Structure 1
Amino acid sequence: MANLNIRVDDEIKKQSEQIFAELGLNTSTAVNIFLKQVIRTNGIPFAVQADPFYSVENQAHLIAASERMERGEGKVRGLLEVDE
């Protein structure tokens, strides 16, 4: 067996250890499961993607909309609250 030393945020470590404990795992076992899945899938075993809100296209759209509002070319709409 080899040792793997990694640095993680304290809060991430604490929260993940709580979840692992609920699953009956320790951190070492959970990391081994992850690494075995990396090998089986030949990649990260889950989607790793950026939030589309921060995409270049969306940011350009938001900036353009903000500029239109500043020029008085936009429409302001109120929030309608409905009690059921």
Structure 2
Amino acid sequence: MALTVRVTEAARLLGIGKTKIYELIGAREIEIIKLGRATLVIRASLEAFIERQREAVVAAPTLRKRGRPRKTFRELASGRKP
């Protein structure tokens, strides 16, 4: 297994576009090395990024529902307001 991959391969592995990979590189979410004109993404940084995203999803609080609360069945059946 290669230690680095090209930007296009990193995008394919993550299932995102090259533009988003460059945004992640700019935000220092993913590490790269420059070898001549080639930009190589360090595979370990891709794996670390994926792990951080998984942890963020697990730790994310559940959001409350938006909008007006629904009436209960009893409120609808009685025809009066609570």
> Taking structure 1 as the reference length, what is the TM-score of the superposition?
0.27
Identify, as 1 or 2, the structure richer in strand.
2
Identify, as 1 or 2, the structure richer in helix.
1
> Taking structure 2 as the reference length, what is the TM-score of the superposition?
0.28
